[in-house]
Amino acid sequence: MTASMASEDDRTIVLRRQRKVRVVEGKPEGVYTNTFEIICRDCGDDPFWDYHDVSPRLQRIRGRYWLETGAREYEAHIAWHEAQATRGDGHRFASVG
């Protein structure tokens, strides 16, 4: 796995540290936890949505992972998308999703 300096807005799949967030005076505030989650825009997720606001399917993808397990699941999720985008003859579709 490689780290990227691109902002979350520029990436389709991210592994990020989970936050415990609460809203104070209309603004989100929170602390980071020791667990990580996968946000996959190709699956319909959005990094600005709260865990409880996404479908059960996206909650399963997001997960709650320790770093090592999260890195493995992140790479597996990317591989799944790559497999979905590749047809049997080795050609790739133009987009994933």
Write down the pLDDT at residue 74: 97
Locate 49 and state its tokens: 């949505």
Q: Is 26 left (phi over 0), alpha (psi -120 to 50) or beta?
A: left
Contact 8, 16 (CB under 8 A): yes
Q: What is the pLDDT of residues 56-77, one digit of tens each?
A: 999 999 999 999 999 999 999 9
Write down the pLDDT at residue 27: 76
- Whether this model's pTM surpasses 0.85: no
Torsion of CA 12, 10, 69, 79, to 10 degrees: 40
Nearest to 15 by CA among 97, 75, 85, 81: 75
